[in-house]
Amino acid sequence: MLDTVRQRVACAVLLVLLAGLSVSAQAQDPRYWRLDDIIAQFDAWELAYPDIFHQTTLGTSGQGEPILLACISDNASVREPEPAIFFHAAQHANEVNGTTAVMAQMAALLEGYGSDPAFTARVDGLEIWFAPVRNPDGHRYVFGDNPSADDWRKTLRDNNDNQQVDFPDDGVDSNRNWDWRWLESNEANPSSQKYKGPYPWSEPEVVAARDFIVREKPVIVVDYHSPVTIGWSNYVFYPFQRQNGGQTPDWDVCRDIAQEWASETRTVGGNPFSTIYAYDTLPKEQCWVYGNTGILAYLMEIGDHCWYTGASVDTIGIRVARGGSYLLDRALDGPGISGTVTSAITGLPLIAEVRILEMHDDAIGPRYTDQDNGQFHRPTLGGNFTLEVSLRDHVTQTFPVDVAGSGWTVVDVELSPITTAVADVITDAPWLRIGDTLRGGRSVHLALPSGMSAASVELFDLRGRRLATLGRDLAPDRPHRLTLPNALADGVYLVRAVSRMQQQVARLVYIN
Give the shortest CB-227-to-Zn ion separation in angstroms: 8
Give the shortest CB-444-to-Zn ion separation in angstroms: 51
Distance separating alpha carbons of residues 78 and 75, to the nearest angstrom: 6
Give the shortest CB-306-to-Zn ion separation in angstroms: 9
Structural element, H or E, at residue 64: none
Measured from the CB atom, the residue of 209 and 505 that comes closer to Zn ion is: 209
Cβ distance 505 to 496 under 8 Å? yes
Range 468-486 burial, b when 16+ CB lie within 10 A, else e: bebbeebebeeebebebee
Residue type, 372: D
Write each residue from 255 to 284 as x if it is in contact with Zn ion (CB under 5 A), else as -, in one continuous string: ------------------------------
Distance separating alpha carbons of residues 56 and 384, to the nearest angstrom: 40
Give the shortest CB-133-to-Zn ion separation in angstroms: 13
Residue 225 in contact with Zn ion, rule: CB under 5 A: yes
Phi, psi angle pair for 486, to nearest 5°: -60, 155
Cβ distance 510 to 495 under 8 Å? no
Distance separating alpha carbons of residues 504 and 457, to the nearest angstrom: 9
Distance separating alpha carbons of residues 37 and 178, to the nearest angstrom: 30
Site residues for Zn ion, 88-107, by CB under 5 A, read: 92, 95
Q: For the chain, how are helix, strand and coil distributed in percent, rounded to 5?
A: 25, 25, 45
Residue 378 in contact with Zn ion, rule: CB under 5 A: no
Give the shortest CB-225-to-Zn ion separation in angstroms: 3
Give the shortest CB-345-to-Zn ion separation in angstroms: 48
- Strands 455-461 vs 127-131: parallel, antiparallel or unpaired: unpaired
Phi, psi angle pair for 381, to nearest 5°: -90, 175
Measured from the CB atom, the residue of 224 and 408 that comes closer to Zn ion is: 224
Stretch binding Zn ion (CB under 5 A), from 20-28, 195-203, 222-230, 283-291: 222-230
Cα of 294 vs its chain's centroid, Å: 11
Distance separating alpha carbons of residues 424 and 95, to the nearest angstrom: 60
Measured from the CB atom, the residue of 126 and 222 that comes closer to Zn ion is: 222
Measured from the CB atom, the residue of 122 and 225 that comes closer to Zn ion is: 225
Measured from the CB atom, the residue of 131 and 484 that comes closer to Zn ion is: 131
Measured from the CB atom, the residue of 288 and 385 that comes closer to Zn ion is: 288
Q: Count CB neighbours of 147 within 10 A.
A: 15
Site residues for Zn ion, 227-256, by CB under 5 A, read: none
Q: Count CB neighbours of 329 within 10 A.
A: 18
Measured from the CB atom, the residue of 177 and 504 that comes closer to Zn ion is: 177
Distance separating alpha carbons of residues 233 and 274, to the nearest angstrom: 9
Stretch binding Zn ion (CB under 5 A), from 84-92, 208-216, 406-414, 490-498: 84-92
Measured from the CB atom, the residue of 176 and 507 that comes closer to Zn ion is: 176
Nearest residue to Zn ion, scored by beta-carbon proximity: 225
Distance separating alpha carbons of residues 161 and 170, to the nearest angstrom: 9
Stretch binding Zn ion (CB under 5 A), from 46-54, 224-232, 354-362, 489-497: 224-232
Site residues for Zn ion, 342-371, by CB under 5 A, read: none
Measured from the CB atom, the residue of 225 and 507 that comes closer to Zn ion is: 225
Stretch binding Zn ion (CB under 5 A), from 86-94, 286-294, 346-354, 428-436: 86-94
Measured from the CB atom, the residue of 95 and 250 that comes closer to Zn ion is: 95
Distance separating alpha carbons of residues 411 and 376, to the nearest angstrom: 10
Measured from the CB atom, the residue of 92 and 378 that comes closer to Zn ion is: 92
CA angle 417, 337, 339 (to 5 degrees): 45
- Strands 220-225 vs 296-301: parallel, antiparallel or unpaired: parallel
Write each residue from 176 to 215 as x if it is in contact with Zn ion (CB under 5 A), else as -, in one continuous string: ----------------------------------------
Give the shortest CB-42-to-Zn ion separation in angstroms: 24
Site residues for Zn ion, 451-510, by CB under 5 A, read: none
Distance separating alpha carbons of residues 312 and 96, to the nearest angstrom: 13
Measured from the CB atom, the residue of 268 and 302 that comes closer to Zn ion is: 302
DSSP 33: P
Give the shortest CB-230-to-Zn ion separation in angstroms: 14
CA angle 363, 250, 220 (to 5 degrees): 105
Q: Which residues pair with 273 in a beta bridge?
A: none
Cβ distance 109 to 128 under 8 Å? yes
The dihedral built from the CA positions of residue 226, 86, 237 and 278, taken in this order, carries a sign that is positive
CA angle 234, 238, 242 (to 5 degrees): 125
Distance separating alpha carbons of residues 203 and 393, to the nearest angstrom: 37
Give the shortest CB-262-to-Zn ion separation in angstroms: 18
Give the shortest CB-377-to-Zn ion separation in angstroms: 28
Measured from the CB atom, the residue of 237 and 493 that comes closer to Zn ion is: 237
# chain residues binding Zn ion, by CB under 5 A: 3
Give the shortest CB-231-to-Zn ion separation in angstroms: 12
Binding site for Zn ion (CB under 5 A): 92, 95, 225
